[in-house]
Amino acid sequence: MEQIFIELLEKAKESALKAYSPYSNFPVGACILYESGKIYCGCNVENASYGLSICAERNAMSSAIAEGEKTKIKAIAIYSPKQEMCMPCGACRQWISEFAISENETKIILENKKKEPEVLSLVDIFPYGFKFS
Instruction: Cite the active site residues.
Output: 57
- Residue 31 makes contact with ligand THU by CB under 6 A: no
Closest by Cα among 26, 28, 35, 30 to 9 = 30
- Residue 88 makes contact with ligand THU by CB under 6 A: yes
Q: Buried b / exposed e across 57-89, counting CB within 10 Å, b at 16+?
A: bbbbbeebeeeebeeebbbbbbbbeeeeebebe
- Residue 24 makes contact with ligand THU by CB under 6 A: yes
Q: Which stretch binds ligand THU (CB under 6 A): 6-14, 62-70, 87-95, 112-120?
A: 87-95
Residue 113 burial by Cβ neighbours in a 10 Å radius (0-12, 13-18, 19+) = exposed
- Residue 46 makes contact with ligand THU by CB under 6 A: yes
Min CB(95)–ligand THU separation in Å: 10
Nearer of residues 8 and 92 to ligand THU, judged by Cβ = 92
Beta strand pairing call for 107-111 and 73-79: parallel
Residue type, 7: E
Q: Which stretch binds ligand THU (CB under 6 A): 50-58, 61-69, 94-102, 106-114?
A: 50-58
Phi, psi of 65 (to 5 degrees): -65, -45
Nearer of residues 23 and 65 to ligand THU, judged by Cβ = 23
Residues engaged in binding ligand THU (CB under 6 A) = 21, 24, 26, 28, 44, 46, 53, 55-57, 88-89, 92
